[in-house]
Structure 1
């Protein structure tokens, strides 16, 4: 799928699928791209032949810079704000409800919603360059929508530290230590080798066993449809504040 705002592509090979997204602004997400990613995940979920999905982005820079600042600045009412942040909620919920195992290929830095995508994966590979940051408080909002997924992975205390240090990058080693990343590779070449080998191995497991395990991985999240929707409404309200508008304008000037 190609859009003026970027692309989402899906590649199939037997039981294994690869979803790749791209946006010229450091793989950030406007609404159309979030909707396309959710559609790709939902479509794959209907394919009983696929048991394993690799989630990755294009390029050698950032894995994902989170929300599109241009679109955040264009929001003029709470309904539009809630709708935008519901895009991230939809992707996280689609990943957790999918019967397929999601493996993250995190090749570079992840910010905000990018951290949420990594957290929504069932297993994550990263490189030593894959630092993370939750910068939302620095622009007057907060990582409300992705918090459940991130806290599920790294725990509430680490989430608190990460969200309050909104101007600070946490290293890939920190993310590994706290459970966001399962393996950290030295470079992209090693990353690709390990992702490919691991995904192939997982895809060859008993499909019925994988479905049952996926349910266990995400036990206790059945209420997330309503929870993430409510969280999106909070962000949708805060994005209209004078603080946030001014902060976003300053970030764009950098």
Structure 2
């Protein structure tokens, strides 16, 4: 079993940020904090022109929040801190002045869909089905909702949020605008991601910074909004319904 990690590799103006957790790339609070920090550092690094966000492993991009931490939440304050982890990463991605390319090699669930949605250009394999599973445990995709809605629209976001047991295929996500392209294999995906990142490195960094500002217009209140959403989730995770559901899953 490989230990969880977040690592950054810088080559020729491209910062590749990779995260990994042996439990299907689920993300506990400490890994989320390292991920937010790595994204912020890449954004501040004058040598970096473009960022690639990826995860380790083969068939799962991200299984969402750490179930182990979820079941151990004892009060609302602790709950808010837990759910703020994904909020901090999404806000770091939003504020990063560099384009972030998402490399989605496999299934992604809950908070992982939020991360994919917060990238600026997202590419995937045909294995990258998506699911917002939060309603299954009596919560909801409150923190990641704004990022997902921004990419899928309210209709698409509400569809996968309500149908919380169903994996929507990668082609559906492409048609809705989450994925720019869907590839047959990880090898094809990696080649395409590298080609796109290299191409972007040849463009005017100032123009890309200004474009990113425009793409994210109207989200300046997300620091407060996502904190409010984390409070809602932190309260609901303590509900009798969720407690009983988590016991069954445990």
TM bucket by the smaller chain? over 0.9
What is the aligned partner in structure 2 of residue 31 from structure 1? 29
CA distance in 1, matches of 2:75, 2:7: 32
CA distance in 2, matches of 1:37, 1:167: 28
The answer to whether 1:17 aligns with 2:3 is no
What is the aligned partner in structure 2 of residue 135 from structure 1? 133
Of 208, 212, 217, the match for 1:219? 217
Q: Which runs of 5+ in 2 are unaligned?
A: none
* 8 Å CA contact retained: 1:136, 1:163: yes
CA distance in 1, matches of 2:155, 2:44: 37
Deviation at 1:211, TM superposition (A): 0.5
CA distance in 1, matches of 2:223, 2:134: 22
SS, match of residue 50 in structure 1: coil
* 8 Å CA contact retained: 1:21, 1:56: yes
CA distance in 2, matches of 1:246, 1:107: 33
Deviation at 1:249, TM superposition (A): 2.8
Cα-Cα RMSD: 1.1
Q: Deviations over 1:82-121 (max 9, x none)?
A: 0011110000000000101000000000000000000000
TM-score (norm 2): 0.98
What is the aligned partner in structure 2 of residue 83 from structure 1? 81
CA distance in 2, matches of 1:49, 1:213: 19
SS, match of residue 225 in structure 2: helix
* 8 Å CA contact retained: 2:59, 2:127: no
Q: Which runs of 5+ in 1 are unaligned?
A: none
Q: Deviations over 1:180-204 (max 9, x none)?
A: 1110000111001100001110121
Of 103, 107, 111, the match for 1:113? 111
CA distance in 2, matches of 1:211, 1:91: 19
**Runs ≥4 in structure 1, deviation > 3 angstroms?**
none
The answer to whether 1:62 aligns with 2:54 is no
Q: Deviations over 1:23-80 (max 9, x none)?
A: 0000001100000101111111211221200000001121000001110000000000
CA distance in 2, matches of 1:152, 1:214: 14
Deviation at 1:243, TM superposition (A): 1.4
TM-score (norm 1): 0.96
CA distance in 1, matches of 2:182, 2:195: 15
What is the aligned partner in structure 1 of residue 94 from structure 2? 96
* 8 Å CA contact retained: 2:18, 2:53: yes
Of 160, 182, 185, the match for 2:158? 160
The answer to whether 1:41 aligns with 2:39 is yes
Deviation at 1:15, TM superposition (A): 1.4
SS, match of residue 123 in structure 2: strand
SS, match of residue 126 in structure 1: strand
1:220-235 correspondence to structure 2 within 5 Å = 220-235=218-233
SS, match of residue 62 in structure 2: coil
